[in-house]
Amino acid sequence: MSGAGWAAVAGDGAAGAAAGGGCLAANDWICGEYVRSRAPELLEATGQHVWITVVSVLIGVAVAFPLALLVRARPAFAGPVLGLTTLLYAVPSLAMFSLLLPVFGLSAALVVTGLVLYSLTILVRNILAGLAAVPQETREAARGMGYGPGRLLWEVELPLALPALMAGVRMATVSTVALTTVGALVDHGGLGTLIMGGLQSNFKAQVLTASLLCVLLAVTADVLLLGVQRLLTPWARSTGRAGRPRGRAGLRARAGEAG
């Protein structure tokens, strides 16, 4: 269902509430009857919210990673890349969507593109921070063991940079969950469309329920990503007495030093 459809549902729901009984007729903020009667609309809006968030973050990572590698390989690009991503993040969402409107029209692609641009400043900086935190002696040990640039990046540097990278993904995801609601301005805001429709029709139960679902989505996404981070970086939880990472990357570093 489109955002306009959800807005119409909100208006119909508010009108129906006045003719009904119970918490809907009283237009209470907390109303279990609303959740039961409008479960399909809530699920559809939540599904769209999750879809837009996931696609935006995945594309953001795919764009930010090569940008971070470019900045690391060519430090002269650091100023322009970091400056541009910071500038994009500072653009108000309404202005951003308006600038993208001639290209994408009133579509989900407009919202996704805007969210990707907003995520870049967080992702690029965290990827760079993670790669910069890899100990130089670990790189030298890997090179001594015959690791080329590509293998060094994927098998040594990236695993050690994962904590910072995942921290960036978590921040970008939570931020994207919040910013997706602004997509209601172009009828593709997931739960934000329900919130806006509820505000326009003074449908209190819809406003509160959709808002709580947004908060729940953000918290759930953060917890899930934290769990993924802990699974992918066991050495971050169990360091040796010297503070070195355990696991494959740490074993390689120590093997190189022993050699």
165-197 pLDDT, tens per residue? 999 999 999 999 999 988 888 888 888 889 988
Alpha helix ranges (H) inside 91-244:
93-104, 108-132, 136-144, 149-152, 158-180, 191-201, 204-232
Q: For residues 208 and 204, give the distance between their C-alpha atoms in angstroms, rounded to a whole number.
A: 6
pLDDT band at 226 (very low <50, low <70, confident <90, very high): very high
| CB burial string 37-67: b at 16+ within 10 A, e below | bbeebbebbbebbbebbebbbeebbebbeeb
- Mean residue pLDDT of the chain comes to 82
- To which residue do tokens 């969507």 refer? 97
Count how many residues are written for the chain: 259
Contacts (Cβ under 8 Å, ≥6 apart) of 76: none
Is residue 53 helix, strand or coil?
helix
pTM for this entry: 0.80
What is the per-residue pLDDT across 34-45, written as a single tens digit (0 to 9) for each? 888 888 999 999
- pLDDT at position 255 is 39
Question: Tokens for 153?
Answer: 């990046």
Higher per-residue pLDDT: 126 or 143: 126
214: exposed, middle or buried (C-beta count within 10 Å: 0-12, 13-18, 19+)?
buried
